[in-house]
Amino acid sequence: MLYSARFLSFFLAVSIAVVTGLFLSLVEGVDRPALVVATAISFSVSYLTIFVVLEFLIFSGLNKVNKMMNKLMKRELKSLPQEKPTTLLNPFEKLNQEIATFAWLQQKEIDELKKLEAFRKEFVANVSHELKTPIFAAQGFVHTLLDGAVNDKTVRDKFLKKAAKSLDGLDSLVQDLLTLSQIETGDIKMKFDSVDLVKLSEEVIDQFEERAKAKKIQLKIRPPKQPRVLAHADELRISQVMTNLVSNAINYTSEGGAVTVSFEVGKKSITTSVTDTGEGIPSEHLNRIFERFYRVDKSRSREKGGTGLGLAIVKHILESHHTKAEVQSEVGKGSVFSFKLTKTKEEKD
Ligand SMILES: Nc1ncnc2c1ncn2[C@@H]1O[C@H](COP(=O)(O)OP(=O)(O)OP(=O)(O)O)[C@@H](O)[C@H]1O
Ligand SMILES: [Mg+2]
């Protein structure tokens, strides 16, 4: 009200008319009707002039800028949880506040872009480094063979096997990178279905039997009381999650240890855990192990063929299931990786 053109014009016109009236009343020879007419004319002219100036030159311009700022902010604020309504009436203050908020949002976006740029640079450096290692190794073996080693049958077989191993590593690295980028770009859509987690885990564990046996690791499933544990999930992707978790558990557990898959069935969800009695992860690394290429002990992990992409894939797949992996670990004692999935409807209590 206070900042409407009508009110301000009225207020100013009344003031001008009063001053004019008072002034004329002091002038000799001005009679009462002339005074009233002069005051009325002064009021009307001032009101109209001030109203036109305020309404069409100042307020409408300000409103246009305000509207534009509002539109810009709405676009920006879409990502924010709640837009605070402005309660300010003064259009100048309102505009000032909106410009300040907009500038803050822009700054936030710039910071975000800077972070992404740094992340991109680091990612490219990591990918190049990881690709270089197996390519150089395979290249070395092939050149040695070409330089004459091919004539010695034992050396030839040994080098060919090593070259093949390097190329297999390269293939799995590229596959992992492809999976990650496809999940991120949305090229891989989750195909949700009712998935029997016990059956899925048994199938995953079967693949690792040989590796566990070779390391004398006891690999087992602790089945739940329920005959079937059905979860709302993408079978192939959750199988990938389990493969990565069980593979890590076996890789980072020394001979004679144990790896156990267990389930906790709640009212609405099922928690699957992979527990190992391995080397454990120091607490300062726990929140970083899900980053791409992050390894606690780079040299030891690489010896085991790791590139640090397994848990990044696990994180992405679980995010697409609107859940996340939890990890508890104690150095020297072992680790527990677990994740929650929603029960399928027919299974809910
Ligand atoms: N069960 C575990 N026990 C101890 N350390 C673990 C365990 N799981 C993961 N880690 C640590 O977290 C790091 C990241 O794991 P991740 O699976 O992402 O990579 P990786 O196993 O090194 O390589 P990749 O899985 O790509 O072959 C590992 O290098 C390892 O140091
Ligand atoms: Mg791994």
Q: Where are the domains of the chain?
A: 5-80, 117-185, 193-347
Amino acid at 80: L
The verdict on the CB of residue 259 being under 6 Å from ligand 1 is: no
User: Are 245 and 274 contacting, i.e. CB atoms less than 8 angstroms apart?
Assistant: yes
Query: Measured between alpha carbons, how far is 30 from 64 in angstroms, rounded to an integer?
Result: 47
Query: Measured between alpha carbons, how far is 104 from 56 in angstroms, rounded to an integer?
Result: 31
Position 89 scores a pLDDT of 64
Q: Nearest CA to 232 among 86, 76, 345?
A: 345
Cα–Cα distances in angstroms (integers) from residue 66 to residues 63, 73, 90, 94, 150, in the given order: 5, 10, 12, 8, 78
- Measured at the CA of 11, the angle between CA 98 and CA 7, to 5 degrees, comes to 45
The verdict on the CB of residue 311 being under 6 Å from ligand 1 is: yes
Query: Measured between alpha carbons, how far is 309 from 131 in angstroms, rounded to an integer?
Result: 13
Position 189 scores a pLDDT of 84
Cα torsion 287, 310, 298, 133: sign: negative
The verdict on the CB of residue 334 being under 6 Å from ligand 1 is: no
Position 347 scores a pLDDT of 47
Query: Measured between alpha carbons, how far is 270 from 229 in angstroms, rounded to an integer?
Result: 8
Query: Measured between alpha carbons, how far is 32 from 41 in angstroms, rounded to an integer?
Result: 14
Position 86 scores a pLDDT of 58
**Mean pLDDT (10-residue bins), the chain, 349 residues:** 82 94 89 91 95 88 82 70 59 80 89 93 89 92 91 90 92 90 84 94 95 95 87 95 96 94 94 96 93 82 75 94 96 96 73
Which residue's CA is minimally distant from atom 19 of ligand 1? 308
Buried b (16+ CB within 10 A) or exposed e, 272-298: bbbbbbbbbbeeeeeeebbebbbbbee
Query: Measured between alpha carbons, how far is 8 from 209 in angstroms, rounded to an integer?
Result: 85
Query: Measured between alpha carbons, how far is 94 from 233 in angstroms, rounded to an integer?
Result: 48
Query: Measured between alpha carbons, how far is 135 from 154 in angstroms, rounded to an integer?
Result: 23
* Domain range 193-347, its CATH number among 3.90.1150.50, 3.40.50.300, 3.30.565.10, 3.30.360.10: 3.30.565.10
Q: Nearest CA to 162 among 151, 180, 149, 179?
A: 149
The verdict on the CB of residue 130 being under 6 Å from ligand 1 is: no
Radius of gyration of the chain (CA): 36
Probe residue for ligand 1, chosen from 171, 289, 299 as the CB with the greatest number of ligand atoms within 8 Å: 289
249 C-alpha to ligand 2 centroid (Å): 8
User: Are 64 and 22 contacting, i.e. CB atoms less than 8 angstroms apart?
Assistant: no
Tell me which fold the domain 117-185 belongs to: Helix Hairpins (1.10.287)
The verdict on the CB of residue 252 being under 6 Å from ligand 1 is: yes
Beta strands in the chain (DSSP E): 193-196, 218-222, 230-233, 258-265, 269-276, 325-330, 334-342
User: What DSSP character marks residue 163?
Assistant: H
Q: What is the pLDDT of residues 18-57, one digit of tens each?
A: 999 999 999 888 888 999 999 999 999 999 999 999 988 8
What SS3 state is found at 5?
Answer: helix
Name the pairing type of β-strands 334-342 and 230-233: unpaired
Q: What is the pLDDT of residues 132-174, one digit of tens each?
A: 989 999 999 999 999 988 888 888 999 999 999 999 989 989 9
Position 84 scores a pLDDT of 57
Token readout for 335 is 């680790």
